[in-house]
Amino acid sequence: MLKDFTTIREKIIEVLKTTSEPLAAEDIIRILGVDISVRDVYEHLIHVAKSVRSRSQGREVLLMEPPVCKKCGYVFKDLDKPKKPSKCPRCKSEWISPPRFIISRE
Ligand SMILES: [Zn+2]
C-alpha cells in the first residue's frame, strides 16, 4: 500500500509552524509518531519548503539551521538541500549535529 505522503507533509508543516525551536528530522519523526526514515523527512522538507513559500506568498519560509561538526565547529553552510553530512571536510570527524528546521513567518 502507498503511504499517504500528502498527509505527512501537512503534519510536518504543522509541527514546524508551532514549534518554539528548530527541530531535527529525528524530532519530527518522534513528535508525529510516524514510521518513516530521516531520509524521507529530508525529502518531504524539500517539498514543504516550496509549498509553504508559495502558499503564503513568501511570508512564511522553511529555515534550516545547518549541520555543525561537533569536534571542530565547522558549519555546513553551503548545503543546497536538507541532509546530514557523514563526515567533516575539515577534521574528518563523523560527529556531526544534524540540520534543524523551523517555519518562520516574516
Ligand atoms: Zn570537524
6-35 pLDDT tens trace: 689 999 999 999 999 999 999 999 999 999
How far does the centroid of ligand 1 lie from the alpha carbon of residue 78, in Å?
15
How far does the centroid of ligand 1 lie from the alpha carbon of residue 9, in Å?
33
* pLDDT for the residue numbered 2: 55
Confidence class for position 4, pLDDT limits 50, 70, 90: low
Q: Which residues lie across from 64 on neighbouring strands?
A: 101
Confidence class for position 46, pLDDT limits 50, 70, 90: very high
C-alpha Rg value of the chain to the nearest Å? 14
Contact 48, 12 (CB under 8 A): yes
In this structure, whether the domain defined by 5-105 belongs to CATH 1.10.10 is answered with yes
**For the whole prediction, is pTM greater than 0.85?**
yes
Element (H, E) at 32: helix 25-32
Q: Give residues with Cβ within 8 angstroms of 33, minimum separation 6.
A: none
How far does the centroid of ligand 1 lie from the alpha carbon of residue 73, in Å?
6
How far does the centroid of ligand 1 lie from the alpha carbon of residue 85, in Å?
11
How far does the centroid of ligand 1 lie from the alpha carbon of residue 13, in Å?
31
Higher-confidence residue of 31 and 4: namely: 31
Q: What is the mean pLDDT of residues 47-58?
A: 94
How far does the centroid of ligand 1 lie from the alpha carbon of residue 63, in Å?
23
How far does the centroid of ligand 1 lie from the alpha carbon of residue 87, in Å?
8
Cell 519548503 found at? 49
- Annotated domain spans of the chain: 5-105
Residue 106 has pLDDT above 90, yes or no: no
* CA 67 – CA 98 distance, rounded (Å): 5
Which amino acid is located at 60 in the chain? E
* pLDDT for the residue numbered 6: 66
In degrees rounded to 5, what are phi and psi of residue 12? -60, -45
